[in-house]
Amino acid sequence: MKEGMENRSLPCIVLATGSSYKIALFERLGLPFTSCSPDYEEIIPPGRAPEHVARELAEGKARSLVEAFPDHLIIGADQVLALGSEIFQKPLTTERAVAQLMRLGGKTHFLHTAVCLLNTRVGENDRARHLMVSSAITFYDDLDGSVLYRLVKADASQDCVGGYKFESRGIQLMKCVETSDTNAIVGLPLLGLVGELRDLGYFDEPL
Catalytically annotated residues: 78
Instruction: Residue 179: count other Cβ atoms within 10 Å of its Cβ.
Output: 18
CA of residue 204 relative to chain centroid, distance: 25
Alpha-carbon separation of residue 192 from 84, 127, 132 (angstroms): 25, 17, 8
Region of 84 on the Ramachandran plot (φ > 0 left; ψ -120 to 50 alpha; else beta): left
Angle at 55 between CA 24 and CA 112, to 5 degrees: 65
